[in-house]
Amino acid sequence: MDWYVWLIVAIVAALVVFLAVIIGRALAFRPKKEETYPDFPVHCDEKKAISDLAEMVRCKTVSDTDESKEDEKEFEKFEKLLAKLFPNVYRVCEFQKLSKRSLLFRWKGKDSSVSRVLMAHYDVVSVEQSLWQKSAFEGIEENGVLWGRGTLDTKGTLNGVMQAAEQLIKEGFVPQNDVYLAFSGNEETNGYGAPTIVKYFKEKGIRPALVCDEGGAVVDKVFPGVSAPCALIGIAEKGLCNIRFSVEGKGGHASAPPPHTAVGKLSKACAAVENHPFPARLSKPAEELFDMLGRRSTFLYRMIFANLGLFRGALDAICKKSGGELNALMRTTVAFTQMSGSKGMNVLPPYAEMVANLRIMCGESVEDCVKYLKKIVADDEIRTEVVYGMNPSNVSETQGEAWNMMKKAVSQTWKEALVAPYLMLACSDSRHYSEISDHVYRFSAMALSKEERASIHGNDERILLEKIVRTVEFYLRLLYQF
């Protein structure tokens, strides 16, 4: 037999073995046995939960980077409202106002050697009322829906925490360990509310065994090939960096322009960065997400996730092309959000700048990002300045008591949902708690549609009344374990 025949046979045999290995791994990549939890019925005062949240919405606690623009009376109104709505919490819990925007309750347990924290923020972002169907601050209840800024982000969460605590205290329940209810009033502006509380915990030597803040939710159709709803619990969050690119020009009349104006040079830099995304990186949260949900995906996707070492390039290509949440799970993202040049339409800009918002991947830093961008831009005339930056948070554990508590409460509340860890793409106050705890979890206790998620920081923010009740039920189940 000629040598080339042997070569063809060897190649075919190698391909058969290769395909057999890939298919075999995909067939073996099946869901792991999950712990099942018994039913744990809970009940709450549904009318109170709904009406209390409506009252909270009526407090226009809009935060601003310039505090002088905030309406202090609205924040004071909100604090007085809490005392009125939750008298048992104020009666039993030790309350401290650590700063103007830092509210902390300590619910003393039978054993104070262990403590856990439930978080939320009560400030909200501003609204453009003309773009809303209903008033953003009237707490309008209509057709099974409560309308208003903060219903989802995150007065709805705060309401759930306080309703559950109020009810359990009224029933005579005493937690096994200390529970802290920690609320900040300037999360939306990256303010000092939460850092002040964390500083207090540090001074007291308190290292929480569990911290629960806003983050993931119960969502549909967010993972390829998975039809079941997924309850995503953030175990880390990406870093944030705003970078200003600037360049000086000679100015002058636009009738005799140079080959490249200041705006043109920035545009070239912008295109270069967008055409050269940051390299893909498989972080621990993403790896665990792919392992958990990839096993429940269709066979084609199972082939990819079971053989990521071979198909990482294909997955990377899919992410680059599609953009969105899947792409953001795989790399540091860059979004150019602002650009300015000349004030006159017929005047060459003597100075131009643009700003990019980066969400930094776990394992990378602000410094790493600046170096990469300078390399891609490759233009010494363009200055690069970090306006604001913070590195990614630490990654929390997905084994042990704290994670199991979260998973149990979620599974008992949304029985049909697949619980999985994930990387939170946005930023929250919880990142500060990574300094004092390895068990920081980010979960907004709601089932949210794509449309509802889009209303957060957008127009027509609203929540179904049944979801308000479900949020309270989640916190009841979680607190019963404390």
Spatial separation of the C-alpha atoms in residues 326 and 294, rounded to whole Å: 13
Average pLDDT of 129-137? 97
Contacts of 219 (CB under 8 A, 6+ apart): 229, 230, 232, 447, 448, 449, 450, 453
Judge whether 46-236+393-480 and 239-278+332-391 match in fold.
no
- pLDDT band at 309, cuts 50/70/90? confident
Cα 426–chain centre separation: 4
In the predicted structure, residue 146 carries a pLDDT above the cut 70:
yes
Predicted TM-score of the model (pTM): 0.92
**What pLDDT sits at residue 368?**
97
Residue 123, pLDDT score: 98
The DSSP 8-state label assigned to residue 238 in this structure reads -
**DSSP letter for each residue of 35-82:** -----------HHHHHHHHHHHHTS--B--SSGGGS-HHHHHHHHHHH
- What kind of architecture, by CATH, is found in domain 46-236+393-480? 3-Layer(aba) Sandwich (3.40)
The answer, yes or no, to whether residue 390 has pLDDT greater than 90, is yes
Between 316 and 418, residue with greater pLDDT: 418
What's CA 264's distance to the chain center, in Å? Answer: 35
On the question of pLDDT at 177 being above 70, the answer is yes
Q: Give the residue, 64 or 300, on which the prediction is more confident.
A: 64
The answer on pLDDT for 384 being more than 80 is yes
Over the stretch 200-244, which tens digit does the pLDDT of each residue have?
999 999 999 999 999 999 999 888 899 999 999 999 999 999 999
Lowest mean pLDDT among 24-38, 389-403, 458-472: 24-38
Average pLDDT over residues 352-373: 97
Q: What is the CATH number assigned to the segment(s) 239-278+332-391? A: 3.30.70.360
- What count of Cα atoms within 13 Å lies in the side-chain half-sphere of residue 322? 15
Distances (CA, A) of 95 to 185, 227, 437: 16, 44, 22
Query: Smallest Cα–Cα separation from 438: which of 391, 406, 397?
Result: 397
Region for residue 324 given its phi and psi (left: phi exceeds 0; alpha: psi -120 to 50; beta: otherwise): left
pLDDT over 90, % of the chain? 84
Q: By percentage, how much of the chain surpasses pLDDT 70?
A: 100
- What Rg value do the Cα atoms of the chain yield, rounded? 26
The residues near 239 (Cβ < 8 Å, ≥ 6 apart) are 358, 359, 360, 361, 364, 365, 366, 389, 390, 391, 392, 393
**Is pLDDT at 253 greater than 90 in this prediction?**
no
Q: How confident is the model at residue 1 (pLDDT cuts 50, 70, 90)?
A: low
Taking the domains of the chain in order of start, what are their residue ranges? 46-236+393-480, 239-278+332-391, 280-330
